[in-house]
Amino acid sequence: MTDPAPSLAEELKRLEEIVRRLEREDGDLDQALALFEEGVARLRLARERLGAAELRVKKVLEDAEGTLRATDLETDQ
Amino acid sequence: MDDLFTPSPDAPWTPVQLARAARRVMESGIGPIWVRGELTGLKAYASGHWYFTVCDRLAQIRCVMWRKWTQRLKTPPADGTQVYLLGTPTVWEERGEFRLNVTQLLVTDRVGAQQLALERIREALARDGLFDPSRKRLLPETPSRVAVVTSLEGAALRDIIHVARRRWPSVQLFVFGARVQGSEAEGDILRALAMVNRAPRIDCCVLTRGGGAKEDLAVFNSEAVCRALAAVEVPTVSAVGHETDLSLTDLVADVRAATPSAAMELVLPDQVEFARQIAGCGIRLATALGRTTRLGRERLERSADRLQASLDQRLERRRQQLERLAAQLDALSPLKVLERGYSVARDREGRVLKQLSSFSPGLDFTLRVADGDVPARVRESA
C-alpha cells in the first residue's frame, strides 16, 4: 500500500506556487527563466499524468497475523 | 438554599418560592425519562404547542409539548392512542401544577418497537454529541487514497468505480469489503471501519450501500456502527440507499450523500475542471515570463543608455586632461629655450655635452639650435 509519486493535487499546488512566484518576480531573468522552465515541465507532466491515469482499485483484507493486505480488485472497464 | 424540612412560622415562603423549589427538586431529581401510556385530551394550539394528558388505569399526568418538538410530527394523535413519551417532569410555576415537558412522542402501535429502538439510539448518540455540527470535518480537496466500506458484490461498488473512473482516475480506491445487510452486517462493518483506521495514508472514508427495503438498511442505524463511524480518523461520508432514505450514519458522518454515486461526486475532484486549472496555470506562466522579460529588456536598455552616457563623460574628461598636459609639456619643451638663442651640444650618441671636459679635441658633435642641427668639431687645441 505505497504511493511514491506526489499526487496530482500536490503537483497543481506546486505549479500554482511557481506561477505566483513568477508573477511576483520583477526583473531577475535567470530566476524567471528557471521558474518558467520548471513550471512548463511540471505542467506537461501533470497533463501527461492526468491523461494516463488509470483507476486503481484494491481490495483490503486482513491476514491471519492481522496484517492488512491490498490486492488488485478485478473491475469491468 | 433554604431548608425545606424545618418549617418555621417566622420565615414563611411565598408561593413562587415554593413553586420554584418544587420545580428544582422535580427536574433535577428525575430528569428526562421515557413514559408509556394512553394519550387523551390533546389540544393543539395555533401557536404550535400541544397540551394533553397521558394516563393509565391508576394515574394521569398533564403534559406539554412545545412547538419546537411538535414541528417534527405531522398530526396530533387521536385520543386513546398508546404513546411513548420522552420528557422531563417539571412544575408549572404559575399554576403550581405538575407537568411532563415532552420532547418526543412516538405512537407505539404505528411505529413499533424497532422505531422506538431507533429513537433511543438517536437520543444516545445526540447526547454524546455525535451529531454536533462542530465536529464535522471537511473533505480533502483532492484525495489520493479513498477507503470504501461496502459490499464487494453490490451495485454500490460498481457505481463508485464508474464515477471514480470518469471523474478522477488517478485516485486509488481501497475497498474494505463488508456485508451490508443481514445478521453478519454489523460485525463486518465494524471490522472494516477498524481496518480503515489501521490502513496507511487514507484521505477519507466512504461507507455506502445501494437502496433497499427499510429492514435491509437497518445496520446503518446500528449504534455500534454509528460510533465506529464517528471514530474513523479521516473525514467520512455516509451514502446509504436512495435519495429519500436517511439513516443514523448519515447524521454521524461528516458528509451525507444521497447515493453511492453522489458520494464519489462529493469526494473526488473533476478531471475536466482540473485540466482547465492546469491550462490556466500555463497561460499565467507565459504571461508572467513575458512581463519579466519585458521588464528585463527595459532595464537593460536603460543600463545601456547610462553606460553610454558615463563613457562619454569619461572620454571628455580624459580629453581635457590631455589638453592640459600637452600645454604643460609645451611650456617645458627645450625647443622653447632654444628659441630664445640658446643651443645644445650633443655627441653622436645624442648625449648632451654640458661640461668643458666632455669636449675632447677632434670630437664631432652637433649643435642643436632653434631651427635645426649644426655639425661641429672641436679644434685641435682650444
**pLDDT 10s digits, B171-225:** 999 999 999 998 899 999 999 999 999 999 999 999 999 988 777 888 999 999 9
Q: How far is A53 from chain B (nearest CA, A)?
A: 5
**A12/B152 touch (CB, cutoff 8 Å), yes or no:** no
How many whole angstroms separate alpha carbon B195 and alpha carbon B272? 33
Q: Which of A24-33, B151-160, B185-194, B367-376 is predicted least confidently?
A: A24-33
Angle at A39 between CA A35 and CA A40, to 5 degrees: 120
Residue B288 forms contact with A (CB below 8 Å): yes
Pair B195, A60: CB distance under 8 Å: yes
CA atoms within 13 A on the CB side of B142: 15
Q: What is the pTM of this model?
A: 0.57
Residue A36 forms contact with B (CB below 8 Å): yes
Pair B125, B252: CB distance under 8 Å: yes
**B161/A75 touch (CB, cutoff 8 Å), yes or no:** yes
pLDDT at B1 over 60: no
pLDDT for residue B185: 95
Residue B142 forms contact with A (CB below 8 Å): yes
**Which segments of chain B are extended strands (E)?**
33-44, 50-55, 60-65, 82-92, 97-107, 145-150, 172-177, 204-209, 236-240, 255-257, 344-346, 364-369, 372-377
Residue B66 forms contact with A (CB below 8 Å): no
pLDDT for residue B109: 66
Burial class for B161, CB neighbours closer than 10 Å (0-12, 13-18, 19+): buried
Residue B275 forms contact with A (CB below 8 Å): yes
Q: Is residue B52 classed as helix, strand or coil in its secondary structure? A: strand
**pLDDT 10s digits, B77-98:** 888 888 989 999 999 999 889 9
**B142/A73 touch (CB, cutoff 8 Å), yes or no:** no
Pairing of strands B82-92, B145-150: unpaired
Minimum Cα–Cα distance from A60: chain B residue: B176
pLDDT for residue B381: 60
Residue B303 forms contact with A (CB below 8 Å): no
Q: How far is B123 from chain A (nearest CA, A)?
A: 34
How many whole angstroms separate alpha carbon B26 and alpha carbon B20? 10
How many whole angstroms separate alpha carbon B324 and alpha carbon B318? 10
Main-chain dihedrals φ then ψ at residue B114, nearest 5 degrees:
-65, -45
Please report, rounded to a whole number, the percentage of residues in chain A having pLDDT higher than 70. Answer: 84
pLDDT for residue A2: 44
- CB within 8 Å of A53: residues ≥ 6 apart: A8, B168, B169, B170, B271
How many whole angstroms separate alpha carbon B65 and alpha carbon B87? 9
Burial class for B31, CB neighbours closer than 10 Å (0-12, 13-18, 19+): exposed
- CB within 8 Å of B243: residues ≥ 6 apart: B258, B259
Pair B171, A54: CB distance under 8 Å: no
CA atoms within 13 A on the CB side of B278: 23
Determine the residue among A3, A13, A19, A58 to mutate to test chain B binding: the one whose Cβ has the most chain B Cβ atoms within 10 Å: A19
Cell 497533463 sits at which residue?
A47
Report the candidate in A76, A42, A36 with the shortest Cα–Cα distance to residue A57: A76
Angle at A21 between CA B291 and CA B302, to 5 degrees: 35
Residue A41 forms contact with B (CB below 8 Å): no
pLDDT at B76 over 50: yes
Q: How far is B281 from chain A (nearest CA, A)?
A: 7
Minimum Cα–Cα distance from A23: chain B residue: B288
Determine the residue among B285, B294, B300 to mutate to test chain A binding: the one whose Cβ has the most chain A Cβ atoms within 10 Å: B285
pLDDT for residue B147: 97
**B176/A40 touch (CB, cutoff 8 Å), yes or no:** no
